[in-house]
């Protein structure tokens, strides 16, 4: 004899618990990370010597150690 009520109750409980964890833990954690992100286009520039991608605020290239012009 298959007890459908017990199975449906367990399934319903699982879905509710996972939804609660998602909305109370995962979404707020992702929301905290989102505002600090910059787009790839504005976050990097090209090194004048070795043509590698470096952060925009870098004063010296980490790949070839050449000083970068200001600006």
In 3D space, the residue among 28, 31, 68 whose CA is nearest the CA of residue 47 turns out to be 68
pLDDT digits (tens, 9 = 90+) for 46-66: 888 898 888 888 888 888 988
Average pLDDT, the chain: 85
Q: Locate 37 and state its tokens.
A: 């992100």
Beta strands in 1-71 (DSSP E): 44-46, 53-55
pLDDT value of position 30: 86
Domain map (residue ranges) of the chain: 1-34, 41-71
Using the predicted structure, report yes or no on whether residue 16 has a pLDDT greater than 70: yes
CA dihedral 10, 14, 20, 22 (to 10 degrees): -170
The torsion angles phi and psi of 64, rounded to 5 degrees, stand at -115, -5
pLDDT value of position 71: 61
């Amino acid at each position: 004899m298959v007890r459908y009520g017990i199975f449906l109750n367990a399934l319903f409980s699982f879905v509710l618990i996972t939804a609660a964890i998602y909305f109370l833990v995962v979404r707020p954690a992702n929301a905290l990370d989102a505002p600090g992100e910059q787009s790839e286009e504005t976050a990097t520039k090209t090194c004048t010597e070795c043509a590698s991608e470096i952060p925009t605020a870098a004063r010296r290239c980490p790949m070839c150690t050449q000083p970068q012009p200001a600006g």
